[in-house]
Amino acid sequence: MQFSLPEIRPKEWVHRIKEEFFPPRILDKYVFSEFVKIFVGALVTLGFLALMSSYSDIKGDLASSKGGKIHGWLFILFRLPQMLIQYIMNIAILFSVSFTVGQFSANKELVAMMAAGISFRRIVTPIVAFSCVLWFAAFFLKQTVVAPLNARANEEHKMLKEGDQNTLVGVVYQKHFKGQEGFYYIYYYDTKEEEIKGGFNYICLTQEQTPDYLLVAQRAKFDYKKEVWVLKSVEETKFDDELQVVSVQKFAEKEYTLPEKPDYFKKLKGSVEEMNFFELSEEKENRMRKGLSYGDVDIAKHTLFAEPLLIVVLTLVGCASGFFTKRMAIVSSLGVSIGVALLYMVMDPSFKSLGENEVIPIWLASWITPMLFLSGLYVVYKRLKV
């Protein structure tokens, strides 16, 4: 018995698509136009609600800010694209698809279309194709527009909170760093004065990875002329090969030659929401070199691809829910939209948290939510047989 794979003919496949969809049929125009009206209306409504929610979140900061209220409005403006792609577009397309298809089903228009010999899959093809376009557009915009605007939004938020006595911005910064010859623990790196304040601890290791000496200082500043670190109020502890304390000395100020320069201790680049794929890869290498955790970076890299796919998933969910709608399409659409949105908001962060804590692989944590939805949809559409 011989097995053979079906021959793939790209030219024939493209020719069939061209004949089927170009020029668009009257039915395609009708279905798509009804969907677009609802989709645009949902985008505008949800966008307005998102703006009101953002204003409510920073209302207290606006009232107490001494940095200028203009920064609050700019923060809302720069944050809007992130909300649009991550939340508003997903909910809008789910509601508009389920409402449009549900309305066709409730008004028996869907029955009439299928009675004319057109399958349900063919009827909703223009909507699904549009969602695929949105998928690629969302991925592209997240790389080129959303990431830099998120960085601007965070800067505006810092400037808004500047001068607020109830909030300390960027003061606490406690981090462990892996150096070339040992490990550092610093409290706060003041970028303006280029000085480490509140605590500078360093343990130097021998080639056998045993402690050589330990430095505990209150402050540390790098002298660029001498290429040395100047430590103040420093306690120096030396160890022998048996890890016994050899000596403990205290100095008001002492110079040390250490492998790392000040740039090594500057804060991480920022939130992963501010980085594109290439910047995330660079950030991961940077954190690995410093011995810092990078689970959130790996999650963000996968999310750049997995998150926009949700647009297609929700479109298919809306089509299936609309098919089973018998009456009151708007009530059913709202119920499905709210239910699916809540389910996603619970599942996605939960799986990502498991990934960051290395309970499950990071790739699985990022992709499992859309894959579970797609698997369920596959079963549903197989049973529809339309």
Q: Is there a cis peptide before residue 10, judged by omega within 30 degrees of 0? A: no
Burial class (CB in 10 A: 0-12, 13-18, 19+), 11: exposed
**Element (DSSP H or E) covering residue 233:** strand 228-239
For residue 173, what pLDDT is reported? 60
Q: What are phi and psi of 369, to 5 degrees?
A: -65, -55
Q: Which one-letter amino acid corresponds to residue 202?
A: Y
pLDDT attached to residue 165 = 43
**d(Cα 202, Cα 266) in Å, to the nearest integer?**
16
Helix axes 26-57, 70-83, angle to 10 degrees: 140
Q: What share of the chain is helix, strand, coil (3-state, %, to 5)?
A: 60, 15, 25
Extents of the domains making up the chain: 10-163+295-384, 180-259
Q: What does each C-alpha distance from 277 to 69, 140, 358 come to in angstroms? A: 33, 11, 21
User: b vs e for 69-105, b when ≥16 Cβ sit within 10 Å of the residue's Cβ?
Assistant: eebbbbbbebbbbbbbbbebbbbbbbbbbbbbbbbbb
Question: Which pLDDT does position 139 carry in this prediction?
Answer: 86
* pLDDT per residue of the chain (386 residues) written in tens, 0 to 9: 454 545 556 666 565 665 555 556 788 888 889 999 999 999 999 888 888 887 787 777 666 666 667 777 888 888 888 888 888 888 889 889 988 888 888 888 888 888 888 888 888 888 999 999 998 898 888 888 887 888 788 777 777 766 544 444 444 466 777 777 888 888 877 777 778 888 889 999 888 888 888 999 998 988 888 888 899 999 999 988 888 888 889 999 999 988 888 877 765 555 777 777 777 777 777 777 666 667 778 888 888 888 888 888 888 888 888 887 776 666 776 677 778 778 877 888 888 888 877 788 888 888 888 888 888 888 877 777 66
Q: What is the pTM of this model?
A: 0.67
How confident is the model at residue 40, as a pLDDT? Answer: 92
